[in-house]
Amino acid sequence: MTSKRESRSGIIGAVGQLVTVILMVLLIKTVAAEAYYVPSGSMLPSLLIGDQLLVSKFPYGYSRYSLPLPLAPATPKRLLGSLPERGDVVVFRLPRDPGQTYVKRVIGLPGDRVQMRGARLWVNGAMLPLRRDGVAGVEGEDGMRQSAPRYIETLPNGRQHAIFKFRNDGDLDDTEIFTVAPGQIFVMGDNRDDSVDSRVPARAGGVGFVPVENLVGRVEAVLGSWDPEVRREPVWNWPSGLRLSRFFSRVK
């Protein structure tokens, strides 16, 4: 009799420990941080395909999209909320399809006027400084390698970041003036000629303006990185795809 009780108690205790672990993981993913994988090259050169990102939840407060599953009611206000800064790299739920998660850089805040004119970025009527920073070899999503002209762009708050710019006459190099409404942000990819971002409206299959509610968090670092192209090689060559220099590197 005693052994049956002990056995039952042991099972209940094990189940209780498992539930506790699951709840702790969910709490950490909701309140503290979460990992995200980069599947595309839209944020080159800052982020590479195959990067695993550490995304912190607390800088912008919390909304239903802070949850692993967005089950809470919709609301434009965030708990302990604050706006991102221009230049922050953020993860957000795609407004037209919240089941998809995107990563881009914040360019415009509420009240800002953003425009591409002659392949240059303008914010609030001023053209942003841009200087050449050499050429980088980059492998695209199709596996083809090409040379990418690299530039350093300076945002109105003084923050600098690298971008790739291949051409000056693309479809998104001359746009209308986008005025960012309250409760929204304007985001762009650093790979300017290969990024579907706020320059493309949602009705055309793009991102459009991003409601602040849709923010998941701020990208802080690259936890690890592995080149998915090595999957085409024999399995014993796969470890060569590890980009060790990117492990635990800070995202600017």
Contacts for 156 with CB less than 8 Å, ≥ 6 apart: 86, 123, 124, 126, 128
Of 42, 66, 198, 225, catalytic: 42
CA distance 96 to 9: 49
Q: 23, 39, 35, 24: which is closest to 217 by C-alpha?
A: 35
d(CA 164, CA 149): 6
Q: Which letter does DSSP use for residue 135 in this model? A: E
42 carries an active-site annotation? yes
Contact 97, 70 (CB under 8 A): no
The H or E element containing residue 7 is helix 2-31
Annotated catalytic residue 57: no
Q: Which of 189, 250, 243 is nearest to 220 (CA)?
A: 250
The active-site residue out of 46, 63, 66, 104 is: 104
Catalytic positions are: 42, 104
